[in-house]
Homo-oligomer: A and B are copies of this chain.
Amino acid sequence: MRLTQGFIPTLKETPNEAQIASHRLMLRAGLVRQTSAGIYAWLPLGLRVLRNIERIVRQEQDAAGAQELLMPTIQPAELWRESGRYDDYGKEMLRIVDRHDRDMLYGPTNEEMISDIFRQSVHSYRNLPLNLYHIQWKFRDETRPRFGVMRGREFLMKDAYSFDIDRAAAVVSYRKMMLAYMRTFQRLGLKAIPMEADTGPIGGDLSHEFIILAPTGESQVFYDAAFEDIDYGARGAGGFSHDSAADLERFFHAMTSVYAATDEKHDLEKWAAVAPERRREGRGIEVGHIFNFGTKYTKAMNVTVANAEGKQVHPEMGSYGIGVSRLVGATIEASHDDAGIIWPDAVAPFRAAILNLKSGDAACDAVCERLYTALGDDALYDDRPDRAGVKFNDADLMGHPWQLVVGPRGVAAGKVELKRRASGEREELSPEDALSRVTG
């Protein structure tokens, strides 16, 4: 994209309403604009990040055997009356009355709807295990929306729902999702730690939340250094396979046998038992939450399948959420400095910015066009007639992993400057060498 043509309205001033770094930087870098309290429009740069995160989440769900569908945003109240949650949910549920005076709602989650779809279609243990997920906009009418997309009212969530014939199978499904989540966060360039959690209004007796480490996180976290050494992505040698119950058990043990807790659940006695050199403290942000709640919904909504003996039984369910839009903010909280955002490579809106320090100069323009042609949609080409300082500042603010700086002196010597945003490291290279570093 050429910056003179792209719709990337950066702000020079920091907006008053933004209290935290990610909110400030998302507004300033032109990623989002607020359209109502806690509701945002995603501008082109922000949408690219959102789609990158969504794609990685989807790939890891698919790899774990979950199947994607798409449920609507508007749900009938009847389903929630069946489960008993219509009255329980409180004012966070956005309730709607349609033109025929039917009670509807904007879905905050989908346990009831997926249970209804399941009971219409699946009647036998032979079709289990089954894990269905969607990535869809949700609404929670927060009384005090704040922190930008981190606690918005309309937000994008990936929610998966597993159905199993018995508790043992449900535990396998739960562990698969836990592994998929750790892989997802690792691919996103985030350090995540699963912590035992309360189940709240979803219900059930087995639940973990996933906290990513970020210096500005909302809660204090305490954890064993063990979490720092695991490569969740390695499939095969030393790693964990989704398809092996033994691997999943070994993985689950690794995740749950060492200490990790938020300040709310911090246990000083257990903490004292962790070797001092292995104790880690930090701040964290919740970005995912998984639940096994057994037959809570299948009983309430009379969902049954025939088991191997031909008997009708209520399947065991779990649900698994990742805050996709929240992750955009959380990633920035985990990775920024005073100058702006520092995108991890996997989610960056553009891999590189091309900074033309003398737009209109034939030699600089030619080198920039060459770089831009080679990188295509991976590059944001700053072809504005502005001075160098403006371009440096905006590139740092937007946080592209690489900056290709093209100025007349370098071009005369056959060189461009390559800057790595995360480290600040700079190198003079030929355009070709710079390109192969960026794409390599």
Q: Which residues of A contact B (CB under 8 A)?
A: 5-7, 9, 30, 33, 35-36, 39-44, 47, 50, 65, 67-76, 91-92, 94, 96, 98-100, 102, 104, 106, 113, 116-117, 120-122, 130, 132, 137, 139, 141, 143, 153-154
Contacts and interface: CB of A to CB of B under 8 A. Distances in A.
Q: Would you call the interface of chain A mostly helix, strand, loop, or mixed?
A: mixed
Total copies of the chain = 2
A65 B4 CA distance: 13
A35 B122 contact: no
A153 B94 CA distance: 18
A69 B43 contact: yes
Contact of A70 (B42, B106, B120): B42
> Which 10 pairs show the lowest CB-CB distances between chains A and B?
A9-B121, A42-B70, A36-B76, A41-B71, A91-B99, A72-B154, A39-B72, A99-B141, A43-B69, A47-B70
Contacts of A153: 74
A7 B132 CA distance: 8
A109 B35 CA distance: 15
A66 to B, nearest CB: 10
5 contacts: A7-B121, A9-B122, A36-B74, A36-B104, A40-B72
Nearest to A33: B117
A92 B99 CA distance: 8
A72 to B, nearest CB: 5
Given A94-B98, A99-B141, A7 B154 contact: no
Contacts of A42: 69-71
A100 B142 CA distance: 10
A71 B94 CA distance: 19
A163 to B, nearest CB: 10
Contacts of A120: 9, 33
A428 B6 CA distance: 53
Contact of A69 (B7, B65, B96, B143): B7
Contacts of A121: 7, 9, 30, 33
